[in-house]
């Protein structure tokens, strides 16, 4: 799968991403680095530990990374959980987290097919 197919597969915005990062080669390099970003696993761990503040910070970071890479669907769900956590509603954030996980897992699965 090439980078354009990856973006289509993940309901992300290729045109916006390539415009920001200038070409497919550069974009692909940054997209392939996404799994090394610690914000998602740290968000999951913070929710598990009932640490609302740490969860908020990691959700906010994840949202920013996703917006920079134009991962539209994951940016939307991470933005939503960020706002839930901003309101310090840990129980609602835990209920919402499976949506974030599903979108994150979709990106990671598609990355395994990226050339």
Q: pLDDT tens, 61-95?
A: 999 999 999 999 999 999 999 999 999 999 999 99
pLDDT at 21: 87
pTM greater than the 0.75 cutoff: yes
pLDDT at 22: 86
* C-alpha pair distances (Å), 77 with each of 23, 25, 28, 49, 56: 27, 27, 23, 21, 13
Cβ–Cβ under 8 Å, residues 92 and 80: no
What percent of the chain lies above the pLDDT cut of 70?
Answer: 100
């Amino acid at each position: 799968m090439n980078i354009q197919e990856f973006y289509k597969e993940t309901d992300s915005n290729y045109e916006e991403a390539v415009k920001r990062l200038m070409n497919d080669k550069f974009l692909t390099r940054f997209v392939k680095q996404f799994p090394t970003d610690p914000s998602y696993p740290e968000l999951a761990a913070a929710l598990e530990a009932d640490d609302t503040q740490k969860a908020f910070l990691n959700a906010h970071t994840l949202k920013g990374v996703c917006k920079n890479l134009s991962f539209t669907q994951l940016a939307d769900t991470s933005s939503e959980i960020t706002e839930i956590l901003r309101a310090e509603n840990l129980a609602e954030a835990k209920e919402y987290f499976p949506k974030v996980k599903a979108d994150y897992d979709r990106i990671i699965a598609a990355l395994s097919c990226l050339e």
